[in-house]
A and B are shown apart, each in its own frame.
Chain A
């Protein structure tokens, strides 16, 4: 079945430590891929996106993500986490590359400890 999987429901990282949030997708062709961040009670902010080309994409707030076709993955990384990064992170796909609705993973809650 077509799906977006974020295996980690909740991750706690020490401030200053590195971060990796996992995302796997299950679609026939490579979809458009996105990472969004959501603060409590707020809408979604786009961190970065991948459509084609360089498989390592840079985003805002120091985030980056790497697309690995062989693993059907699009993991989000940050070398040094700040306390303000604590939020909910969603991986999303546009499965048809056709401007249809995005399909979201279940999300990963990031907590940052001091």
Chain B
């Protein structure tokens, strides 16, 4: 099946610094990718929809200036957590759908565990 690779798998950063998370579709082109956030023992909450070559669409309540999304190519979307604070610590997961397969399945990255200290 299609593969979505997310990097890094985990990261620890100091409060006030920025962290970039990459999401790549390895064997298909993804014009649209999705970023989710998952708190411990909770569900995945959609943060934003990343569109190749245009601005991301953020869900209500998600700070655009804190969570910067860039989708510069058909295989790469990045999420940058700016000026990170401990409350930003979470599990972040990206997803992409493969239009060539009829867009009927969403593929997920393995997730990134962010810890802000």
Contacts and interface: CB of A to CB of B under 8 A. Distances in A.
A28 interface: no
B110 A42 contact: yes
Contacts of B78: none
B25 interface: no
B27 interface: no
Contacts, number: 47
A99 B105 CA distance: 8
Given A41-B113, A51-B104, A102-B106, A107 B43 contact: yes
Main secondary structure of the interface of B (DSSP, over half): strand
B93 A106 contact: no
Interface string B1-37: 0000010000000000000000000000000101000
Nearest to B98: A99
Contact size range, B = 20 to 34
Interface residues of A, number: 23
Contacts of A107: 42-43
A43 B6 contact: yes
Contact of B42 (A32, A41, A106): A106
Contacts of B6: 43
Given A42-B111, A101-B34, 17 more contacts: A42-B110, A43-B6, A43-B108, A43-B109, A43-B110, A43-B111, A44-B44, A44-B108, A51-B104, A90-B44, A102-B34, A102-B95, A102-B106, A103-B46, A104-B44, A106-B42, A107-B42
Interface of B: 6, 32, 34, 41-44, 46, 49, 91, 93, 95, 97, 99, 103-106, 108-111, 113
Interface of A: 32, 34, 36, 41-44, 46, 49, 51, 90, 92, 94, 99-107, 109
26 contacts: A36-B108, A41-B91, A41-B111, A42-B110, A43-B6, A43-B108, A43-B111, A44-B44, A44-B93, A44-B108, A46-B105, A46-B106, A49-B104, A49-B105, A90-B43, A94-B106, A99-B103, A100-B49, A101-B49, A101-B95, A102-B106, A104-B43, A105-B43, A106-B42, A106-B43, A107-B43
